[in-house]
Structure 1
Amino acid sequence: MTEPNHSPDRLRADQLSALRAELMHAQSVRGPVLPFGVPALDDRLVDHGLSGAGLHEMAPRSAELTDDAATSLFIAGIAARFAAKPGANVLWALSTFDLYAPALEHVGLGPDKLLYAQGRRDSEVLALAEDGLRDGSLACVVAEVKVADQVATRRLQLAASDGGTPILLYRRHRARDRCPLAQPSSAMTRWLIGSAPSAPLPHAGVGRARWSVELVRQRGGNPFQLEIEACDDQGRLALPAAAPHRAPAQDGAAISAAA
């Protein structure tokens, strides 16, 4: 009778196979989808929005402060809309507390929605984020790190699926000449965000901020790039309107894009 093969290599292969199967299941689980409300974005996303039980990665297009700020606000606006219901909270985990609260509130993420968790290093931040995801009581988790390998992102995706909670992983620049998204990842979507020139105004002043939004990768779909107008006070984006047809925004509401 043939003895079963219990060699270390065989056991490791079996463990990897089981982990891949678990990850594939986790990536197939889609929580409630959060649409952007901009057809030019939603129609190009496989889920027509962001899965509420998945990992989504965002990184600045460059190490410049303007791109860093644009990415922070892009993430904050998404988190604000995930937490739009009364009593919903967002956990923001980070190692360096450099967030500017008034700017977050300007895109709809006020202090009544935010819980902060600070770790000394990236590994602690990732552990805090994973615990928050598995708890299942949060509307969204945001984590800021410079280093997150494929094992770490796999764990976050599994935790997001188990807890039915989305995570927005902010990949900070480690080196000016290397894209934070260069490493493989188990994320469902991966984004590069940069600042873009505002539209000229017919009078003195600065127009609504614009961002360059590039979806570098999405599971089951194609990449794309768009220029959009920055979040309003409820975290909503908009497509730039043609200047002759631009309508004034009222109470910070987004200008809806024509389908």
Structure 2
Amino acid sequence: MTAVREHVISDLRERIASLQGSSARKVGCLPFGVPEIDAVLPGGGLAHGALHEFAGGGGGTVDGAAAALFAAGVAARTKGKIVWCLTRPDLFFPAIAQAGLDPNRVIFVESDREEDVLASMEEALSYGGLGAVVAELVRLPMKASRRLQLAAEKKGTMGLVVRRWRRQTEANDFGQPTASTTRWRVSVAVSEDLPVPGVGRPRWLLELMRVKAGECAEFCVGACDDKGRIHLSTGPGYGSNSTRRSLNSG
């Protein structure tokens, strides 16, 4: 283990320990509150104590940012501090706040290498007492994903991996198998219409590409609001105008 990694992990241990308080293991799921989405997820939501993957529908930065905001919205609806592990400190705080995640809840852990990001995420998951642990990664090897899944199961903390590509060719790695419980792909769609001229609420195409003990599905949704909530939406290419269902946090 390098001196840099030792320093990062040691600092992370101290910061988590100071915030930990009760470390009761979380069980059950975090529902989206949208019946159509929760119905395809075993347990009726995203499982606590499990690893979940998010990626943009394309190799561009716009879809990648949407995937990060979707993960931020999920994290926002959990209870407790959030640890966010990354190699590039380029998160736009107003954007994640707009998705419902208060930056004051987040402990950012910056590393030079993805191996250190994986180590930091595993360490945070192993401590427990957190709302969620997020990591930004290009690749997620099967062996590493199993370690993260086991660490999440042990303490009941939700692990969220945001797959971010630096080059288009790296997006091919997203098709490789991992131990994640769910895998999502997020693509930016045409914004919702407003009754007056202007820019409507952003809209995403969510693709549930993999779910253990479940089936794949896709949904067109309104992007996360300031509570981390989404709602079912429709638009060009996604069916006729129908009643929109609001998403209440779980």
TM class, shorter-length: 0.7 to 0.9
Residue 221 of structure 1 aligns with which residue? 214
Residue 137 of structure 1 aligns with which residue? Answer: 129
- CA distance in structure 1 between the partners assigned to 2:181 and 2:218 by the alignment: 17
Shift of 1:200: 2.6
Tell me which residue corresponds to 2:43.
47
Distance 2:196 2:243 in 1: 16
Partner of 1:159: 151
How far apart, CA to CA, are the structure 1 residues paired with 2:140 and 2:160? Answer: 13
Q: How many residues align?
A: 218
How do 1:133-212 and structure 2 match up within 5 A?
133-177=125-169, 178-212=171-205
CA contact (8 A) 2:34 2:246 kept: no
Q: For 2:180 and 2:223, how far apart are their aligned partners in 1?
A: 24
**Structure with greater contact order relative to length (CA < 8 Å, sep ≥ 6):** 2
CA distance in 1, matches of 2:83, 2:227: 18
> Which residue of structure 2 lines up, in the alignment, with residue 116 of structure 1?
108
Q: TM (normalized to structure 1)?
A: 0.79
Alpha-carbon distance in 1 for matches of 2:140, 2:97: 28
> Structure 1 residue 68: deviation in Å?
1.1
User: Distance in 2 between the 1:115 and 1:64 partners?
Assistant: 27
Identity within the alignment, %: 39
2:63 aligned with 1:59: no
Q: How far is the alpha carbon of 1:119 from its aligned partner?
A: 0.9
TM-aligned CA distance change 1:161 to 1:245, over 3 Å? closer
Q: What residue in structure 1 maps to residue 74 of structure 2?
A: 78
Counterpart residue identity of residue 58, structure 1: F
Two-structure CA RMSD over aligned residues (Å): 2.0
The answer for the alignment partner of 1:8 in structure 2 is none
SS of the aligned residue for 1:154 comes to helix
Shift of 1:202: 3.0
Superposed CA offset, 1:102-155 (max 9, x none): 111111111221110011111000000000000012110000011220000000
SS in 1 for 2:43: coil
Letter paired with 1:106: Q
Q: What is the CA distance between 1:82 and its match in structure 2?
A: 1.1
Contact 1:193–1:214, Cα closer than 8 Å, also in 2: yes
For residue 198 of structure 1, give the secondary structure of its aligned residue in structure 2: coil
Q: 1:95 aligns with which of 68, 87, 102?
A: 87
Q: Counterpart of 1:74 in structure 2: which amino acid?
A: F
Q: Say which one has the larger Rg.
A: 1
Q: CA deviation at 1:66?
A: 1.5
Where structure 2 has 5 or more consecutive residues not aligned to the other structure, the ranges are: 1-24, 235-239
Contact 1:198–1:206 (CA under 8 A) maintained in structure 2: yes
Q: Which runs of 5 or more structure 1 residues have no equivalent in the other structure?
A: 1-28, 247-253
Contact 1:53 1:160 in 2 (8 A): yes
Question: What CA distance in whole angstroms lies between the structure 1 residues aligned with 2:223 and 2:241?
Answer: 16
Given that 1:30 and 1:51 are in contact with CA atoms closer than 8 Å, whether structure 2 keeps it comes out as no
Cα distance in 2 for partners of 1:223, 1:61 equals: 15
2 CA distance for matches of 1:235 and 1:179?
29
Deviation per residue, 1:177-199 (Å, 9 max, x gap): 43342111000001111100012
User: Aligned letter for 2:64?
Assistant: D
Check conservation: 1:58, 1:169, Cα contact below 8 A.
yes
Please give the secondary structure, in 2, of the residue aligned with 1:213: strand
| 1:173–1:180 CA contact under 8 A, matched in 2 | no
Q: Secondary structure at the residue paired with 2:180?
A: coil
1:34 to 2:30 alignment: yes
Matched, 1:237 2:230: yes
Give the TM-score, by structure 2 length.
Answer: 0.82
| Correspondence for 1:126 among 114, 118, 131 | 118
User: What is the CA–CA distance in structure 1 between the aligned matches of 2:76 and 2:89, rounded to whole Å?
Assistant: 19
